[in-house]
Chain A
Amino acid sequence: EADIYQTPRYLVIGTGKKITLECSQTMGHDKMYWYQQDPGMELHLIHYSYGVNSTEKGDLSSESTVSRIRTEHFPLTLESARPSHTSQYLCASSGASGRSGYEQYFGPGTRLTVT
């Protein structure tokens, strides 16, 4: 089982609040990703990072921001939560040294509800 962690697992928060979703991995992977997934739907890449101090936006327009100050840590921040942000957020990591190159290991996800 891959060592990638996400906290909190579930979060219910009011509109306008600032929130940070945490993601950490202990595999030394240089690449990390954030996806948004509504129940039963496809995964949308919202941010990715190929190393420390490197972050890029994905295909899905997002009002969130990320930072990558340490290899193992890739937090996602929403400055002002809105009901439209209600979804599941999945963090993943991959390293070229993995058994299949860019194989992604996913965390358990954070299910966010904004009321």
Chain B
Amino acid sequence: GQQVMQIPQYQHVQEGEDFTTYCNSSTTLSNIQWYKQRPGGHPVFLIQLVKSGEVKKQKRLTFQFGEAKKNSSLHITATQTTDVGTYFCAGWSPGGYQKVTFGTGTKLQVIP
């Protein structure tokens, strides 16, 4: 079945440093989403990427979808303590009845 891996598993950064998490799928995806889960909370949708090579920005966050639609990245510029949490990608399989597979997640700690 479809597998979605993320690296790194954990990342500690000083406040103000940049952060990047990478998401790799074993199969070609229809689209990919990113979610953020704060400690003790539930995942919250951040963004969806659909097109090959797509790049989207949300303030300090930049999301990319690979040309082959098998990988994606999330980059945060100048991290803040409010960025703390676990970031998950979620890959959707192509086809009529799409199925979603969440990535393994990257837990971000920001040191003030």
Shortest distance from the beta carbon of B37 to any chain A beta carbon, whole Å: 9
Shortest distance from the beta carbon of B19 to any chain A beta carbon, whole Å: 18
Chain B interface, number of residues (Cβ within 8 angstroms): 25
Shortest distance from the beta carbon of A70 to any chain B beta carbon, whole Å: 21
- Interface residue ranges of A33-80 to B (CB < 8 Å): 33, 35, 40-45, 48, 50, 56, 58-59
Would B97 and A103 count as touching, CB distance under 8 A? no
Interface band, chain A: 20 to 34
Pick the contact of B101: A45, A56, A106, A109 (CB < 8 A): A45
- B residues with a Cβ closer than 8 A to A are 1-2, 31, 33, 35, 42-45, 47-48, 86, 88, 90, 92, 97-105, 107
Q: Give 15 A-B pairs besides A102-B98, A103-B33, A106-B44 with Cβ atoms closer than 8 angstroms.
A: A40-B86, A43-B102, A44-B102, A45-B100, A48-B100, A56-B97, A56-B99, A59-B1, A92-B43, A100-B45, A104-B33, A104-B43, A104-B45, A106-B43, A108-B42
- A residues with a Cβ closer than 8 A to B are 33, 35, 40-45, 48, 50, 56, 58-59, 90, 92, 100-109
